[in-house]
Chains A and B, each alone.
Chain A
Amino acid sequence: MMVSKLKLTMLAFICLMTISGGLSAQTKVIDLWNGKIPGAKYSNHFKQMVDTAAGWVDKHSIVNPCLYFYPAPVAKASGAAVIICPGGAYGGLAIKHEGEQVAKWLNRLGVTAFVLKYRLPDDSIMENKTIGPMQDGQRAIRLVRSHAKEWGINPAKIGIMGFSAGGHLAATLSTLYNDKVYESDDQMSARPDFSILIYPVISMNGDITHWGSRINLLGNSPTQEMVKHYSNELQVNDKTPPAFMVHSLDDDAVPVQNSINYALALHKANISCELHLYPTGKHGYGMGKSTDTESSWPETCRKWMEVRGLLVK
């Protein structure tokens, strides 16, 4: 009796380890700061909570930002990797339809994916809330690049991807990768090699910005200097990474001028850029849920990545 009980317990234990081991093998969680989050303050309104079933992550449950790691299947891995910034107006994260689902699609193309669960700007947990997401983003890029070899990634093929306000973060990381927003102990570059921006917020200019995202990031009374600094169409130069962009002309949340202005800025700086404007879809459609043309954007993106040599070793 004792032996079989022991066997049962051991069996249960082995099962548990296998299951959790199996889960980790699919979605390994990489803590970005190992407890040493730059400029962090404590607030009892914020409590780290993970609910893997939830599609929306509330900002109060993100204390320790992390990367969810989705490695490409070994047999088709091209060596390219993309860090995905879900949207949510800098007030939360649409972690499934602008995160996990995107990661799975990238894996199918042979691209390794990371979903960045970044901290959302808040004065109660950040000394400088405007740079909070950027700190997490730069750190994520440096981390991935420094582990590139170990993870089967080409350090020159690390891209950043973002949806909506996550697109603002991705564009900011693409233009301000040299901004020193935390004391970095490594010299690793935080520059993405390419960017994929889906119905992105780009600008903080009052005429065309997404006000919810702007207020969350810059507060109620940002200086003109801050507004300009975080308007990525004004920060493009000849080192900005090439971009693939998508926007719907009927988007009444984030005006299409955000994408157009960024694309034209890249064009002026002779940086390769592709922009697809669809008549329908409005905003927030993730990988595309309709039978209309905006839902064909993933195939268009796949072709762009293929032509850029990102889908072969």
Chain B
Amino acid sequence: MIAASVFSQSKVIDIWNGKVPGEIPNTNYKEIVDSSYWIKIRFVTKPTIQVYPAPADKNTGTAVVVCPGGGYYGLSYVGEGTEVAKWLNQLGVTAVVLHYRLPDDAIMQNKSIAPLQDGQEAMRIVRRNATKWGIDPHKIGIMGFSAGGHLASTVSTHFDEKVYESKDTTSARPDFSLLIYPVISMDSAITHWGSRESLLGKNPTPEILKHFSNALQVNANTPPAFMVHSMDDGAVPVQNSIEYALAMQKHNIPCELHIYERGGHGYGLGKKNTGTESTWPEACRKWMEVRGLLVK
């Protein structure tokens, strides 16, 4: 009962307060919920964060910015958004679901950096408001599913890249990342082509491909990661997660990777699944607990 009422107290914050960086105004462009094939938000023009505070009686002070997946084409905002927020709240974690802009030349001067702009500013907003929202500014993580995992890993490896004029020096660096069946690489051998084309267009230079292949961008400052992938993922090859984990190992950054035998792709919290992949939320909870993220 209490959880339900607190959940309904979620608030929506316009990330840019009307001043979206690199925006090309276009009044014909409207956000829609597209239910064909799967339910997703498309044509995001005004990116927002929806804050779901942890219940006061179990607040751990930890917050996670959640990036739904959707191939950089749409936002799978229920299974990889609101459902995940509910689960995080149950653990005493504040969830911040990011409705990021999906790359589109029609409304963006540089579409490839739009999601990163939104991701960085989301991290900064949460950190700026940490005290006010009962959050420890050193316990703000980023989470992403599929293409949202690409965004989360991009924020994790490009947190100090100047992609817009920030109003202050608040750090955009996540303290940890949770990457669920993530796209990591833009390398043609292993990338998810839909996400790559949506983000980088049809003819990205080798330089751009490398820049957005996050396993190549890991360094000593990259936050620790918890990762999940299914061996039989036919959409995003498991090599994406393996490459990132090995890059993390090379730089001595703690990384945990669970490769489940089945599950395919896109199963969110896995509540409808009976295979081993359905146990990932418990493995994630344990990882967070061991890292001290589930106590004040």
- A127 an interface residue at 8 Å Cβ cutoff? no
Is A249's CB under 8 angstroms from B276's CB? no
- B92 an interface residue at 8 Å Cβ cutoff? no
Closest partner residue, chain B, to A263 (CB atom) = B259
Return A39 CB to nearest CB of chain B, in Å. 38
Q: Chain B contacts of A249 at CB under 8 A? A: 245, 248-249, 254-256
Q: Chain B contacts of A208 at CB under 8 A? A: none
Is A296's CB under 8 angstroms from B256's CB? no
Is B254's CB under 8 angstroms from A274's CB? no
Complex alpha-carbon distance, A274 and B232, angstroms: 10
Q: Chain A contacts of B239 at CB under 8 A? A: 264
List residues of B (199-258) whose CB comes within 8 Å of A's CBs: 224, 231, 238-239, 242, 245-246, 248-249, 254-258
Q: Take A249-B248, A296-B283, A300-B279 as given contacts and tell me if A277 and B255 are in contact as well, using a CB distance cutoff of 8 Å.
A: yes
- A267 an interface residue at 8 Å Cβ cutoff? yes
Is B231's CB under 8 angstroms from A274's CB? yes
List residues of B (235-291) whose CB comes within 8 Å of A's CBs: 238-239, 242, 245-246, 248-249, 254-262, 274-276, 279, 283, 286-287, 290
Is B274's CB under 8 angstroms from A293's CB? no
Interface string of A297-313 (1 = CB under 8 A from B): 00010011001000000
Q: Chain B contacts of A267 at CB under 8 A? A: 231, 238
Total of A-B residue pairs, C-beta within 8 Å:
68
Complex alpha-carbon distance, A131 and B257, angstroms: 34
Q: Chain B contacts of A292 at CB under 8 A? A: 290
Q: Chain B contacts of A260 at CB under 8 A? A: 242, 246
Contact of A304 among B246, B249, B255, B276 (CB under 8 A): B276
Contact of B261 among A264, A273, A278, A279 (CB under 8 A): A273
Contact of A278 among B238, B256, B275 (CB under 8 A): B256
Q: Chain A contacts of B224 at CB under 8 A? A: 279
Contact of B262 among A272, A279, A291, A303 (CB under 8 A): A272
Complex alpha-carbon distance, A303 and B258, angstroms: 13
Is B261's CB under 8 angstroms from A242's CB? yes
- A30 an interface residue at 8 Å Cβ cutoff? no
Is A256's CB under 8 angstroms from B249's CB? yes
- A276 an interface residue at 8 Å Cβ cutoff? yes
- A280 an interface residue at 8 Å Cβ cutoff? yes
Q: Chain A contacts of B258 at CB under 8 A? A: 276-277, 300
List residues of A (261-300) whose CB comes within 8 Å of B's CBs: 263-264, 267, 272-280, 291-293, 296, 300
Q: Chain B contacts of A278 at CB under 8 A? A: 256
Closest partner residue, chain B, to A257 (CB atom) = B246
Complex alpha-carbon distance, A280 and B274, angstroms: 28
Complex alpha-carbon distance, A242 and B231, angstroms: 12
Return B179 CB to nearest CB of chain A, in Å. 13
Q: Take A293-B290, A304-B261 as given contacts and tell me if A279 and B256 are in contact as well, using a CB distance cutoff of 8 Å.
A: yes
Closest partner residue, chain B, to A290 (CB atom) = B290
Return B132 CB to nearest CB of chain A, in Å. 33
Q: How large is the interface on A (under 10, 10 to 19, 20 to 34, 35 or more residues)?
A: 20 to 34
Complex alpha-carbon distance, A278 and B246, angstroms: 12
Closest partner residue, chain B, to A250 (CB atom) = B249
Closest partner residue, chain A, to B245 (CB atom) = A277
Is A303's CB under 8 angstroms from B245's CB? no
Interface hub of B224, B245, B276, B279 (most chain A Cβ within 10 A): B276
Return B115 CB to nearest CB of chain A, in Å. 28
Is B276's CB under 8 angstroms from A303's CB? yes
Complex alpha-carbon distance, A307 and B231, angstroms: 16
Complex alpha-carbon distance, A11 and B290, angstroms: 55
Q: Chain B contacts of A300 at CB under 8 A? A: 258, 276, 279, 283
Complex alpha-carbon distance, A274 and B277, angstroms: 10
Is B256's CB under 8 angstroms from A272's CB? no
List residues of B (124-165) whose CB comes within 8 Å of A's CBs: none
Closest partner residue, chain A, to B289 (CB atom) = A293
Closest partner residue, chain B, to A247 (CB atom) = B257
Return B80 CB to nearest CB of chain A, in Å. 23
Is A307's CB under 8 angstroms from B274's CB? yes
Q: Take A267-B238, A303-B279 as given contacts and tell me if A274 and B286 are in contact as well, using a CB distance cutoff of 8 Å.
A: no
Interface hub of A250, A277, A303 (most chain B Cβ within 10 A): A277
Contact of A307 among B249, B275, B287 (CB under 8 A): B275
Q: Chain A contacts of B274 at CB under 8 A? A: 307
Q: Chain A contacts of B254 at CB under 8 A? A: 249, 279-280
Return A66 CB to nearest CB of chain B, in Å. 33
Q: Chain B contacts of A303 at CB under 8 A? A: 276, 279
Is B283's CB under 8 angstroms from A275's CB? no
Complex alpha-carbon distance, A307 and B277, angstroms: 10
Q: Chain A contacts of B262 at CB under 8 A? A: 272
Return B219 CB to nearest CB of chain A, in Å. 17
Q: Chain A contacts of B261 at CB under 8 A? A: 242, 272-274, 304
Complex alpha-carbon distance, A279 and B242, angstroms: 13
Is A272's CB under 8 angstroms from B231's CB? yes
- Contacts A/B (CB < 8 Å), 6 sampled: A249-B245, A274-B276, A293-B286, A293-B287, A296-B283, A307-B274
Q: Add 11 more A-B contacts to A264-B238, A279-B254 (CB < 8 A).
A: A249-B248, A249-B255, A249-B256, A260-B242, A264-B239, A272-B261, A273-B259, A277-B256, A277-B259, A296-B286, A300-B283
Interface residues of B (CB under 8 A from A): 224, 231, 238-239, 242, 245-246, 248-249, 254-262, 274-276, 279, 283, 286-287, 290
- Please name the 10 residue pairs, one residue from A and one from B, whose CB atoms are nearest each other, closest first: A279-B254, A274-B261, A277-B257, A275-B259, A249-B249, A272-B261, A279-B256, A276-B258, A304-B276, A267-B231
